[in-house]
Structure 1
Amino acid sequence: MKFNEKLLAIRKKQGLSQEELGMELQVSRQTISKWEAGQSYPDFQRLVMLSDYFNMTLDELVKDIDVQDVREKNLMDEKVSSIYSDVEKGKDLLQKCWKVMCCLGIFILVLTVLALILHFIFPDVKWLWSMK
């Protein structure tokens, strides 16, 4: 029997709801639900708390757990986290580039307006407007 199936069976045998077990372990009901669905696994501290709460040894609680499955899920979580981190870095870089481009555009616009104003104020100054 897999850990998630064992946890579900033990919880139901004790007549506990996911909410009640979550309160005992100081986790949310959704966390218990994920453990029972096999979507995630408790950390070592929570495993010890579970074994104490159900008066079982850790070996009894986690025996038949597929260690490779846990490793693969952890690796997948790390990959997703890495991808999310890379996306956030990309977004930050894009925002910085956008700010630089906006500042550069404003600078060019100000220079152009300033040149037009100078041209209207000093239209007869040839050296100012000649392009040699």
Structure 2
Amino acid sequence: MKIGERLKEKRQAANLSQKELADILHVSRQTISSWEVGRTYPDLEILVHISEFYTVPLDELLKEDSTLLEDISQKVKKSERRKLMNILLSLMLVLVSCLGIYFAVQHYRSQMTNESGLSQADLFNTTWQLNFTSSQDIEQSILSFDQNSIAIFNQYNTRITSAESNNPKILEIEKEKWLERGLENGVTNYSDLKIELVEDTYIVTAYGFSQKYTRLSDTIIKDQNGTEYFKVRSSDMHADLHQIDEYVKEEGVESFSVDFTPSESN
């Protein structure tokens, strides 16, 4: 017996007209008629309601009707997939929203100024070049800040004569001495950049790096050692510095001058 015939049998046994049953199930009389002649089927939720109303187990209503069972099985699978997709989409929406809020807060914080007029944005995405140093060791230095890291290009003055520079053994000994002091030419990149503002000082920390820079003007900062840097670009130069570093190492250049002309357009 098909589901339609079984539904008609149960309705008649309960002495209900199609209209009366339709009112109980909150559907139209035509819908009841369509079920009973087999044109359509009630969905699973209504079938559960019907089984409870007639006090008949659901499997008794469905038995022997393989077409309906297959249809319900497919609908259940689709429903489960739809629920899973809705959950995944909801999680993605929450994640995107959280990331959006996080980056909005970070941007807002970077634009805020303290009582001395300093802002994290003063250093983010900028490049600074050595302006003055009292040290005889350092020949040139460049600081490059992006949003997440700082790249530092240093070149030190070994103070060896031109004759000594042609002697590989002397050069190797001098390099060892400089390495023992923690001084090495080239670019070092420090990740996880953070900038705190304390009065007229930028406290810059990153993984393996810590330094304080005092603002002397809009374009000049000074570190704790008294070394001054002037702003040469309103953008980072990480990629450029690494290219320069590769060139110096590949060519075996012992001294290489990098100079930038400050430009407001940059």
Q: Quick check: 1:19–1:29 contact (8 Å CA) kept in 2?
A: yes
**Contact (CA 8 Å) 2:2, 2:65: kept in 1 or not?**
yes
Match of 1:20 in 2: 23
Q: How many residues end up aligned between the 2 structures?
A: 119
Residue pair 2:51, 2:58 contacting (<8 A) in 1 also: yes
Deviation at 1:123, TM superposition (A): 4.1
Higher helix proportion: 1
| 1:51 correspondence with 2:54 | yes
3-state SS of 2:43 partner: coil
Distance 1:99 1:127, change over 3 A: same
The 1:92/1:69 distance shift into structure 2, 3 A limit, reads: same
Q: State how 1:32-111 maps to structure 2 within 5 Å.
A: 36=35, 37-38=40-41, 40-42=43-45, 46-52=49-55, 61-66=61-66, 67-111=69-113
Unmatched tracts of structure 1, length 5 or more: 23-27
- C-alpha displacement at 1:57, in angstroms? 7.7
Task: Confirm or deny: 8 A CA contact 2:44 2:72 kept in the other structure.
Answer: yes
TM-score calculated relative to the size of structure 2: 0.33
- Counterpart Cα distance in 2 of 1:126 and 1:42: 72
Alignment of 1:109-128 (within 5 A): 109-111=111-113, 114-115=118-119, 123=217, 127=222
Larger Rg: 2
Once the two structures are TM-superposed, the CA of residue 43 in structure 1 deviates from its matched residue by 7.6
| RMSD of aligned alpha carbons | 4.5
Once residues 60 and 43 of structure 1 are traced to their aligned partners in structure 2, the CA distance between those partners, rounded to angstroms, is 15
- Work out whether residues 6 and 61 of structure 1, in 8 Å CA contact, stay in contact via their aligned partners in 2: no
Contact kept, 8 Å, 2:47 with 2:58, in 1: the verdict is no
With 10-19 and 75-84 compared, the bigger mean Cα shift is at 10-19
Matched with 2:136 is none
Partner of 2:238: none
Task: Check if 1:131 corresponds to 2:134.
Answer: no
Residues 39 and 51 from structure 1, CA distance in 2 versus in 1: closer, same or farther, beyond 3 angstroms?
A: closer
Cα deviation, residue 122, structure 1: 6.1
